[in-house]
Amino acid sequence: MRGNTMRGVYTNLTDIRRRVFLEVAKLAYEGSSQQCDFDELPYHIIPGDVATYRESVFLERAIVGERIRLAMGLPLQGVDRPANVSDGVTDAAKAETYYQPPLINIIKFACNSCKHDMYEVSDMCRGCLAHPCREICPKDAISFVKGKAYIDQEKCIQCGRCKQVCPYGAIVYHERPCANACGMDAIGSDEYGRADIDYDRCVSCGMCLVNCPFGAIADKSQLYQVIQAINAGEEVIAAVAPAFVGQYGGKGNVDKLKASFLQLGFAGVEEVAVGADLCTIQEANDYLKEVVDEEKLPFMGTSCCPAWSVMAKMEFPEHAECISMALTPMVLTARLIREHHPKAKIVFVGPCAAKKLEAMRRSVRSEVDFVLTFEEVAAMLACKEIDYTKVDGTGHSDFDEASADGRGFAVSGGVANAVVNQIKSLRPDLEVNVKAAEGLENCRAMLKDAIKGKYPGYLLEGMACPGGCVGGAGTLQAIKKSAGMVAMYQKRAARKIAGEDANADELDALIE
């Protein structure tokens, strides 16, 4: 899959990103809003006067300074005017502060201006007698300079024929890593060759930020604001997405997870798999009504992945009604929590950058107050020196309400499987055809085929991230490892299908 080469590999970039979150969390827990504290952070994270990662220690600190601002939910500043990291910190210190778009940001002076969509001759060229690259080029773009092949980029049409015929594999194709990872083709170049995001197309999936090897792309965080709410004595409840299993080590030890979150200051922890069950029931009912019984829709796409859903409705507006209108697991879980804790601040904790975008919608913000990724919560744990695997979970029970199918929402294919099982429980003789795709490029191709009539009456599952939610931009573990942990966690569920969820009877009230 495109843009999946660095996932699960701990790099220098990973270390810097997590150190930024850690230092911001420390200042937040300390209740600091002193400008000097934030202005000193780049020097604490990048000490000394010798560059380690870049050509200049000043550049390193400038980049870290911008990442600190984004971690606090503040906008980028750039280097074209005098500025401090702390500018705007007073506003960020308010617990009710929401970050403003854009969520995904490019730190321009960190971008390496990577070559994009071009073929180039490498040092592997031997200047062979046959010259097949020159002979096959339809635009006469290849000549020989000092015995080596040379491609005239003004003439080249990027057909790739030269690369195919080179006997030495000397011709390479360059594509910007962030653009390669973007399933929306939303990343181009500015006038200086630096990456540039078309925000009219961006769906905030976050694949660009985890695939940029220079750390030039980052999303805004509500880490600082969540801790401010905790410090203020608010009832802050975490709603944890099914992909949490194994993210912090261990084997999905729910007792340790609950105890750890309470030590962070959360008032409670709930499982979003409950909302996944309710979403499953709603989608199963909608499918039966609109696709099978009334034949209003030629097919139905799942709703839980916001990046897939937004892409489908954006690019295929004439078929927008074919994407399920069921409320997402995040929203349904939040509404369920709100029924019992009307004044609580609800924090969705998950793997997904796009959930931050979803929570900013007017219809959702009243239910979900904050969104944190697993990586951001890991910084909170590190700040408090909490080793999840060694926490005493005595007195804290396992999550016991959600079904195995609800927990399976975390992996590709899991959503469709849950909906099919629920339909089967209602109509055992009904055959439900399913098509699933992961990665927005594949999701788009699937939807195009469905519109052409290739999947009549099908249930389509779209997942923006590789492997499903376990491959989200805010995850900590390798995708295959996480998927295996989710499968093990599913087996522990006392309930198997969504309709058996202890909260199933509350669905109608929650969707009104």
- DSSP secondary structure of 13-41: HHHHHHHHHHHHHHHHHTT---HHHHHHH
Q: In this structure, what token pair is assigned to residue 92?
A: 């960020």
pLDDT reading at 85 higher than 90? yes
pLDDT for the residue numbered 78: 83
With a CB cutoff of 8 Å and minimum separation 6, the contacts of 59 are 51, 109
- In this prediction, residue 95 carries a pLDDT of 67
pTM: 0.94
3-state secondary structure of 453: coil
Length of the chain: 512
pLDDT of residue 1 exceeding 60: no
pLDDT higher than threshold 70 for residue 160: yes
Task: Sort strands 187-189 and 195-197 into parallel, antiparallel or unpaired.
Answer: antiparallel
The values of phi and psi at residue 378, to 5°, are: -60, -35
Instruction: Quickly name the fold that domain 118-174 has.
Output: Alpha-Beta Plaits (3.30.70)
- Whether cis (ω within 30° of 0) applies to the bond prior to 351 is no
Would you say residue 10 has pLDDT above 80? yes
The neighbour count for residue 228, using CB atoms within 10 Å, is 21
Place of tokens 């975390």: 410
Distance CA 213, CA 233 (A): 40
Q: Which of 451, 450, 455, 412 is nearest to 433 (CA)?
A: 455
Lowest-pLDDT range, 28-37, 43-52, 234-243, 491-500? Answer: 28-37
**What rounded mean pLDDT belongs to the chain?**
94
pLDDT over 90 for what percent of the chain?
Answer: 86
Note the pLDDT of residue 3.
Answer: 56
Neighbours of 426 (CB within 10 A): 12
| More confident site: 37 or 366 | 37
Q: Which CATH architecture has domain 225-507?
A: 3-Layer(aba) Sandwich (3.40)
Phi and psi angles of residue 118, each rounded to the nearest 5 degrees, phi first: -150, 150
The closest alpha carbon to 272, from 342, 377, 371, belongs to 371
Strand partners, 171: 121
- Which neighbouring-strand residues pair with 195? 189
- The mean per-residue pLDDT over the stretch 488-502 comes to 94
The DSSP code sequence of 354-408 is HHHHHHTSHHHHTT--EEEEHHHHHHHHHHTT--GGG---TT-PPP-SSBHHHHG
Binned at pLDDT 50, 70 and 90, residue 241 comes out as: very high
pLDDT band at 4 (very low <50, low <70, confident <90, very high): low
Domain ranges, ordered by start, for the chain: 12-92+100-106+199-220, 118-174, 225-507
Indicate the pLDDT class of residue 267, thresholds 50, 70 and 90: very high
Per-residue H/E/C for 188-211: EECCCCCEEECCCCCCCCCHHHHH
Region 227-234 average pLDDT: 95
Q: Exposure pattern of 69-80 as b/e (b: 16+ CB <10 Å)?
A: bbbbbbbbbeee
Give the residue, 10 or 133, on which the prediction is more confident.
133
List pLDDT tens digits, range 90-116: 878 776 777 788 999 999 999 999 999
Q: How far is it, in rounded angstroms, from Cα 195 to Cα 176?
A: 8
State the pLDDT confidence band at 44, using cuts at 50, 70 and 90.
Answer: very high
5, pLDDT greater than 70: no
User: What Cα–Cα distance (Å) separates residue 98 from each residue in 24, 263, 357, 473?
Assistant: 17, 25, 11, 20
The percentage of residues in the chain with a pLDDT greater than 70, rounded to a whole number, is 98
The answer to whether 209 touches 104, Cβ cutoff 8 Å, is yes
Q: Please choose, from the candidates 263, 470, 474, the residue with its C-alpha nearest in 3D space to the C-alpha of residue 382.
A: 263
| Dist CA 403 CA 418 (whole Å) | 9
Going by pLDDT thresholds of 50, 70 and 90, the confidence category of residue 228 is: very high
Same fold, 118-174 and 225-507: no
Q: What is the pLDDT of residues 409-427, one digit of tens each?
A: 999 999 999 999 999 999 9
pLDDT of residue 178: 96
pLDDT (average), residues 35-61? 93
Query: How far is Cα 331 from Cα 304, in angstroms, rounded to an integer?
Result: 10
